[in-house]
Structure 1
Amino acid sequence: MQPTDRIREDVREFTPYAPGLSMEEIKERYGLARVVKLASNENPLGASPLVKRVLARKADMVFRYPRAGNPALVAALAEAHGVPRGCVVAGNGSDEIIDLLVRVTCRPGVDNVVAFAPCFSIYVQQTKLCGVELRQPPLGPDFAFDLPALAGACDAKTALVFLTNPDNPSGYAVPADQVVALAKSLPPRALLVVDEAYVEFADPEADHSMLPRWGQCDNVVVLRTFSKLYGLAGLRLGLGVMPEWLADYLLRVRLPFSVNLLAEAAGIAALEDTPFRQASLETVLRGRRLLAEKLTGLGCRVYPSKANFLMFAPPSPQCGAADVFKALLGRGIIIRALKSYGLPELLRVSIGNDEENDLFLAAMKDLVENGC
């Protein structure tokens, strides 16, 4: 017997999630003292000062378990988003909510899940891990949502339909009214899971988010994260807003204390720090306009984005996406190559702070004018 014979056959084919390269890896590889990371869509201003103070005060309590169910956090989330407390499930990142939704609603070997191609890799991995068919109609031209095709891929055994709005890696988004129409067109059993990880940047947010329309549809789940606008990627905190009956079942099977004590405290503090949140949003929107204008001026094809990143194609086949990616790494600037999304000719750059954006643009200008 081989050691791998003890592993499920379908799991042997898995490849791990491919995160962006870390700053430490690039420093060591290229002998650099400073690295600018614009690869993971993190907050360009870091973490809220209020969050930092709260974490310092809570550090002495890390030997204690958090309160079961995180009631203080759930209450704060419900108030912030204007939804009933019983509809909120907090998780160890929104990834945990995705995993729970698949496990709770999908019957292995019977049901199917529908999402566009390409899509967030966690949708793919968790459905495969649970032995559930994933159906993936392609995105439309220029990465637009072909919502009729998404609905058309569903049948009576469709358990979940994932829609990331705004989408990653393109930044494409549709108004929430179109999402409501999609939800109402799905088969009776299907739940529409709207992943709004980037919706705060879809100016104006209220036109694109389903949360202001909560209650218009009884088959919608909305996912949010603290990893982007709130600057808490390292603490892993996310939430799902869903029908109360569904939230009850997710909480029955969720691992105990999956949201740790520091993440809970940081989440509550982040919700309270409105000035930091507004400053972060203004920095991203200003940077997004600047990068789109300057990259276009350099001859890049820049895709319209409602997120805190831009997807673009370099202007010259002789200095293609892979070449630009490697050349930027050598200069200490990390962006995201999109080969893992099946888009080897494209790149994604997160919006940084003003200095980081200027360094990236100066490097791009040099590469375009002088070659990779």
Structure 2
Amino acid sequence: MTDIHIQPRPVVHQLRAFTPDLPDRTVGELRRLLGLDEVIKLSFNESPYGPSPRVVAALQQAARYVNFYYDPEGRELRDKLAAHYGVGSDYIFLANGADEAITLIAQAYLAPGDEAVIPALTFGTCAFATRLVGAQPVFVPVRQDLAIDLAAMAQAVTPRTKLVYLCNPNNPTGIMIDGSELRRFVAGLPQHIIVLIDEAYAEFVTDPAYLSGMALMPNHANIVTVRTFSKIYGMAALRLGYGIARPELVAMINRVRNPFNVNFLAHVAALAALADTDFHRLVAARNAEQRQRLTEAFTERGWQVCPSQTNFLFADTGQDSAAFCLALARRGIIIRPGHGWQLPSFVRITVGSPEQNDKLLAALRELNGQ
């Protein structure tokens, strides 16, 4: 066998393949790896309530038609989303999860030599997508309280800046940007810079000061808002995200989008999910209740808990979180340590169902007793 001398693009050497750690494994894999019959996975911000029963029924009916290609434009779903948000369907583009939506924006608008301004503590896909196309991510430290520092973000903008990324509420902290601050920040940016606002967790927000990027679009043509069906809709495995932007931006993004990037079953499930507003109101209410419950319980333990507007909590445990998370894993509770964010005493914990949270808190009490 001879050595392979075929070389990838130079930028590929800067990228790393995704290597799953324990918190990234499926529940089935975790049971096998840990030798446990029951595992509660609170590490991936998945909905503990699953999808709407209407989604399950729609998928069962649709399964018989998977031998056919589906509409590559996703017109019916785009029409429903457009009606939901009060915009035209040409404001919507579909993607294989919010991750792909972010990548498509980078592919359409970033070139080698361009810069993307990104908070240093946030969802990693924008930095990955920026590097993928040969552009340069410019990381801006967050504030001492771990909130996104909008003033520092604005100062990081240079003539080479082509995109600014905000995750609102932010992942992994759960912290929301105040609407008035967001409005001032966007107004101060040059209009040729894309403002990509990732709102994956927006449906969990209860704070009235929240402002969606969509509210800014009438006065700012450079806004692209990204949302997902993975979180409150409980459809993470179906991989369906979407973006909302001015039609001229969407038209360019569609030029780099694979026409069959969203599968038929995801389309069908999304249509059923959008029709069941009562279910998602119930999920949001339960999440808010349990989020408050866990915030109080963690605070009583002496943890410093970031004020979350999402379906997860980010907290400083005051100890090495890797050892702590492993101890919990041995009890069948999977949470995420903060080492990947260079915050080794922090943990990120999905807000589970009441029953799951009962078991989480019981396991924490067990650890305290040792």
* TM-score, normalised relative to structure 1: 0.94
Counterpart-to-counterpart distance in 2, 1:12 and 1:281: 42
Counterpart-to-counterpart distance in 1, 2:42 and 2:267: 27
Q: Given the alignment, which residue of 248, 257, 261 partners 2:260?
A: 257
Give the match for residue 360 of structure 1.
Answer: 360
Deviation of 1:213 after TM superposition, in Å, equals 4.1
Letter in structure 2 aligned against 1:232: M
Give the match for residue 117 of structure 1.
Answer: 120
Say whether 1:3 aligns with 2:7. Answer: no
Q: Given the alignment, which residue of 24, 29, 32 partners 1:28?
A: 32
Q: Given the alignment, which residue of 49, 62, 84 partners 1:80?
A: 84
Q: Given the alignment, which residue of 20, 25, 50 partners 2:54?
A: 50
Where structure 2 has 5 or more consecutive residues not aligned to the other structure, the ranges are: none
Letter in structure 2 aligned against 1:164: C
Say whether 1:271 aligns with 2:274. Answer: yes
2:47–2:232 Cα contact (<8 Å) kept: yes
Letter in structure 1 aligned against 2:367: L
Give the match for residue 16 of structure 1.
Answer: 17
Structure 1 pair 228–205 and aligned structure 2 pair: CA distance change class (3 A): farther
Moved more, 342-351 or 179-188: 179-188
2:314–2:346 Cα contact (<8 Å) kept: yes
Give the match for residue 326 of structure 1.
Answer: 326
Q: Given the alignment, which residue of 295, 313, 321 partners 2:298?
A: 295
1:78–1:84 Cα contact (<8 Å) kept: yes
Deviation string 1:119-166 (CA, Å, 9 cap, x unpaired) is 211112111111101101100111122111111111222111000010
Letter in structure 1 aligned against 2:43: A
Give the match for residue 203 of structure 2.
Answer: 200
Say whether 1:137 aligns with 2:137. Answer: no
- Could you say what secondary structure the match of 2:145 adopts? helix
Structure 1 pair 85–329 and aligned structure 2 pair: CA distance change class (3 A): same
Counterpart-to-counterpart distance in 2, 1:4 and 1:143: 45
Give the match for residue 369 of structure 2.
Answer: 369
Counterpart-to-counterpart distance in 2, 1:2 and 1:46: 48
Counterpart-to-counterpart distance in 2, 1:163 and 1:9: 28
Structure 1 pair 34–143 and aligned structure 2 pair: CA distance change class (3 A): same
Letter in structure 1 aligned against 2:144: P
Deviation of 1:200 after TM superposition, in Å, equals 1.2
- Could you say what secondary structure the match of 1:143 adopts? coil
- Could you say what secondary structure the match of 1:75 adopts? helix
Counterpart-to-counterpart distance in 2, 1:357 and 1:339: 23
Identity %: 35
Instruction: Give RMSD over aligned pairs.
Output: 1.6
Give the match for residue 153 of structure 1.
Answer: 156
2:207–2:309 Cα contact (<8 Å) kept: no
- Could you say what secondary structure the match of 2:120 adopts? coil
Deviation of 1:76 after TM superposition, in Å, equals 0.5
Counterpart-to-counterpart distance in 2, 1:5 and 1:183: 44
Deviation string 1:61-98 (CA, Å, 9 cap, x unpaired) is 10111112100000011111122211111111111111
Deviation of 1:218 after TM superposition, in Å, equals 1.4
Counterpart-to-counterpart distance in 2, 1:32 and 1:224: 35
Give the match for residue 68 of structure 1.
Answer: 72
Structure 1 pair 236–205 and aligned structure 2 pair: CA distance change class (3 A): farther
Give the match for residue 184 of structure 2.
Answer: 181
Counterpart-to-counterpart distance in 2, 1:141 and 1:4: 47
Counterpart-to-counterpart distance in 1, 2:92 and 2:344: 38
Tell me the matched-pair count.
366
- Could you say what secondary structure the match of 1:151 adopts? helix
Letter in structure 2 aligned against 1:227: S
Give the match for residue 335 of structure 1.
Answer: 335
Give the match for residue 103 of structure 1.
Answer: 107
Deviation of 1:283 after TM superposition, in Å, equals 1.3
Counterpart-to-counterpart distance in 2, 1:114 and 1:2: 40
2:45–2:312 Cα contact (<8 Å) kept: yes
Counterpart-to-counterpart distance in 2, 1:83 and 1:352: 34
Where structure 1 has 5 or more consecutive residues not aligned to the other structure, the ranges are: none
Write out aligned runs for 1:208-247 (5 A): 208-247=211-250
Give the match for residue 349 of structure 2.
Answer: 349
Counterpart-to-counterpart distance in 2, 1:24 and 1:227: 20
Structure 1 pair 94–369 and aligned structure 2 pair: CA distance change class (3 A): same
1:295–1:361 Cα contact (<8 Å) kept: no
Deviation string 1:204-258 (CA, Å, 9 cap, x unpaired) is 4673322244413211111101100000100000110011101011112211211
* TM-score, normalised relative to structure 2: 0.95
